[in-house]
Amino acid sequence: MNSKQRVLAAMNHRKPDRVPVMCQLALGHYFLHCDYRPSEIWFDSETFANALVELQQRYEFDGILVNLPGRPADWKNKLKSYKTIDNTEYLYWRDLALREHKSGLETIVPPNDNPQTYQSGQTGLERADYKSVDVNDPATYRLAGYIWNTWHIPQLWDIDSHADLSDPAAYPAW
């Protein structure tokens, strides 16, 4: 059986030749074992997809579990500057909504762990004050660096600053 047949048999409650194997690898594993910059795996949908396929083939998994949603194709245009020091990447972001050159947000991408976004000078991001969040007002959900804890981007790029974030139509196709 090939992988597709194996997974299909298992999903149809038939006996495959062996148990199908899928694995959601840690992102740090992709960073360490693929020939892409960690920031490109993290922020670039096509690069992330390539890394998933490469390791699926290398380890002979029967399928791929995609654990990150898409990101904007033009994410590099949102950078003010970039540097690498001792295999750690430092990304400095522009604030496109305000048409300023710098949003003050910085993302540090270590070679083996998830990136972290900070305010200027690597100070911690503002924490949510849950007393001030109004579940009926999605505008109160916006905190720089915290995007639903699922989007892996530091800002809500390509989304109108007054958009109703509870409306799926507010989100771009990427």
Domain ranges for the chain, please list them: 3-59, 75-163
Q: Does the pLDDT at position 70 exceed 80?
A: no
DSSP-assigned beta bridge partners for residue 118: 106
Per-residue tokens: 133: 């969040």
Q: Does the pLDDT at position 83 exceed 90?
A: yes
Stretch among 35-49, 52-66, 134-148, 157-171 having the lowest mean pLDDT = 134-148
Per the CB < 8 A criterion, the answer to whether 31 and 111 are in contact is yes
Rounded to an integer, the average pLDDT of 67-81 is 84
Residue 136 CA to residue 78 CA, distance in Å, equals 30
Residue 167 CA to residue 62 CA, distance in Å, equals 36
Q: What's the confidence (pLDDT) of residue 146? A: 59
Per-residue tokens: 80: 């003010």
Q: What are the residue ranges of helices labelled H in 35-166?
A: 38-43, 45-59
* pLDDT confidence tier of residue 141, bands split at 50, 70 and 90: low
By residue count, the chain amounts to 174
Per the CB < 8 A criterion, the answer to whether 32 and 111 are in contact is yes
Higher pLDDT, 100 or 90: 90
Strand ordering across the sheet containing 106-109: 79-85, 88-93, 106-109, 116-118
Q: What's the confidence (pLDDT) of residue 123? A: 84
Q: Does the pLDDT at position 103 exceed 50?
A: yes
Q: Does the pLDDT at position 48 exceed 90?
A: yes
* pLDDT confidence tier of residue 21, bands split at 50, 70 and 90: very high
Residue 119: how many CB atoms within 10 A of its CB?
A: 15
DSSP-based three-state secondary structure for 129: coil
Q: What's the confidence (pLDDT) of residue 89? A: 97
Strands 106-109 and 116-118: antiparallel
